[in-house]
Structure 1
Amino acid sequence: MPSSVRIGNQHLAVDVSSIGAEMQALTSDDGRSWLWTGDAAYWTGRSPILFPIVGKAPDDTLAIGGTVYPMAQHGFARRSEFSLAASTPTMCRHELSASAATEAVYPFDFLLTVEHAVEGRALTVAAEVSNRDVRPLPFGLGFHPAFLWPLPGAAGRTHTVTLDNEGEPELLRLEGGLINPVPLPSPFDKGRLVLDHAMFEKDAMIFPKGAGEGLRYGAESGPALRFRFENLPNLALWTKPGAPFLCVEPWHGTAAEAGGSSELSQRPSTTILAPGATARFAFTVEILR
């Protein structure tokens, strides 16, 4: 049976499930909940960890060294049982290691560690991938947290995403769940995007480069969340039109390109990790008000 652990301090409480090492709730000291609840009427996810791929593979199959394996969208980690490796009042660390089940679809020896830690009014979620194999380890790693839209106490207010770098990154769209590599004009204006559900009628908005290392998601003259990203060059924004959440998704890796190779190593922004090496990826979200 899945288990859960709660961490927190005087400002925040965070619940994390052993299934997928997925955050289930983010609550501030005033009782407000910031994370999506996973209502099945829209989407059952809350904050899944994406590994060893981000997004979809052609026909849900992945080629590794010429051999084809089944691979569901966003990989298997989000549905896997993690073990609790360590916990304190303000931190918990979960681990997923290679097994017969993972090797049947991803023939490598690896260790995936996911740590949730609170400090002040901020939560940091960090993932480390260690290559325990004798071969280079190809993979994608992404975060998929969903936050309320509107944010608590901000119903009826305009919500925006503002990039710290004031950039206007090119937009890519999905075609049958795969990346259409033809760039579209950026919806950002000097780093600012006014959110509208109509933007998501064609699925996620993907920004493969140029979104920078931080952003603010918030309501005008209201509550807001500040994000910082570590080793996560790709950004996606997603919701189902009309659903009361917004996913702010920092990635290192994207879906395969439409018409492109099914080889894992050829997917955009794939990490190729040397034997014995470890790579770290993290995001921090801070409640501003």
Structure 2
Amino acid sequence: MSLIRIGNDHLTVEVSSLGAEMRSLNSRDGRSWLWNGDAAFWGGRSPVLFPVVGKAPDDTVSIDGTAYPMAQHGFARRNEFVAASSTPTMCRYELTASDATRAVYPFEFLLAVEHALDGPALTVSAEVSNRDTRPMPFGVGFHPAFLWPLPGADGQTHVVTLDNGGEPPMVRVRGGLINPAPLPSPFTAGRLVPEASMFEADAMIFPEGAGDGLRFGVEGGPELRFKFENLPNLALWTKPGAPFLCVEPWHGTAALAGGSNALEERPSTTTLRPGETARYAFSVEIPV
């Protein structure tokens, strides 16, 4: 594993070659905003999810009628990426097909993950290219964990506020798979006060209607501002009692409980034709 550090007058970011995962996000005053990966709660920090988001039935997907093993959230987060390019404020890592990936996902592909700074904002993007000769189905998503409470906001009420003011329906997982029966939205006029007890049944998942941006933080205090590009699904997750909240924008979800294990039939799956590329991105603005 190697690290690339990027920075500007506002932020410094470290990104690992393992999974192209962001390992730290600090403001110039030394405050850390990203979860530190303490394995006592959860060892992740900001994994990139590909070629599936969430679980598959029996950890197996079907592609063109053939069964392949597929771990939760896919294999990208466990693979070494190659550093393709970098500047003082940007780095790009790439993952291409190998014998190991073909054994579980029989396609030629390019997954390029870029972290780029612009003032007090960080944009994380993933470009997926189909280098194969047949249509390529996949899901992709981001799983960043931010400190909860945020720096300088101990003891203060934190709020998740959707930019669209919506009240999107929620679903839960059952055995790691999506229970498609919609539940009442925990948002009221776009506003949710997260509590640890809300996550005793695992993640809160919003398959649609959460919009393309939100804020997380203290009203009138420290607040993170998110924007999403081509990421229609949203999840919020933590382990009850852990000091972080994952704000997870996805294009794809876990398979449906009782449904098919066919990769192309998973909710919100993208299928690229040969030679096509799709881009997915989120940005987060830090209060500095």
Return the TM-score normalized by structure 1.
0.99
Any conservation in 2 of the 1:157–1:220 contact (CA below 8 Å)? no
Specify the alignment match of 1:55 in structure 2.
54
Residue 221 of structure 1: how far off its partner (Å): 2.8
SS at match of 2:101: helix
SS at match of 1:93: strand
Q: Structure 1, unaligned stretches of length 5 or more?
A: none
Distance 1:95 1:222 in 2: 37
Specify the alignment match of 1:133 in structure 2.
132
Is 1:146 the equivalent of 2:145? yes
Is 1:164 the equivalent of 2:179? no
Counterpart residue type for residue 235 of structure 1: L
Counterpart residue type for residue 214 of structure 1: G
Distance 2:37 2:57 in 1: 27
Counterpart residue type for residue 183 of structure 1: P
Specify the alignment match of 2:192 in structure 1.
193
| 1:1-289 equivalent positions in 2, closer than 5 A | 2-289=1-288
Q: Structure 2, unaligned stretches of length 5 or more?
A: none
Divergent runs of 4+, >6 A: none
Distance 2:49 2:192 in 1: 25
SS at match of 2:280: strand
Distance 1:153 1:41 in 2: 23
Please list the CA deviations of residues 41-81 of structure 1 after superposition, one character each: whole Å capped at 9, or x if unmatched: 00000000000000000111111111101110000000000
Residue 222 of structure 1: how far off its partner (Å): 1.6
Distance 1:75 1:257 in 2: 16
Counterpart residue type for residue 33 of structure 2: W
SS at match of 2:221: coil
SS at match of 1:84: strand
Distance 1:127 1:220 in 2: 31
Any conservation in 2 of the 1:61–1:68 contact (CA below 8 Å)? yes
Distance 2:286 2:126 in 1: 21
CA RMSD of aligned residues (A): 0.5
Return the TM-score normalized by structure 2.
0.99
Distance 1:98 1:166 in 2: 41
Distance 2:287 2:186 in 1: 25
Please list the CA deviations of residues 196-237 of structure 1 after superposition, one character each: whole Å capped at 9, or x if unmatched: 111000000000000000000012332110000000000000
Distance 2:167 2:35 in 1: 28
SS at match of 1:112: strand
Distance 2:166 2:219 in 1: 20
Counterpart residue type for residue 204 of structure 2: M
Distance 2:177 2:114 in 1: 30
Counterpart residue type for residue 14 of structure 1: V
Residue 190 of structure 1: how far off its partner (Å): 0.3
Number of residues of Structure 1 aligned to a counterpart in Structure 2:
288
Residue 29 of structure 1: how far off its partner (Å): 1.1
Residue 96 of structure 1: how far off its partner (Å): 0.1
Distance 1:282 1:137 in 2: 20
Please list the CA deviations of residues 170-212 of structure 1 after superposition, one character each: whole Å capped at 9, or x if unmatched: 0000000000000000000000001111100000000000000
Distance 1:68 1:150 in 2: 43
Deviates more, 1:108-117 or 1:215-224: 215-224
Distance 1:51 1:209 in 2: 20
Residue 288 of structure 1: how far off its partner (Å): 2.8
Distance 1:141 1:30 in 2: 33
Distance 1:66 1:190 in 2: 44
Counterpart residue type for residue 31 of structure 2: R
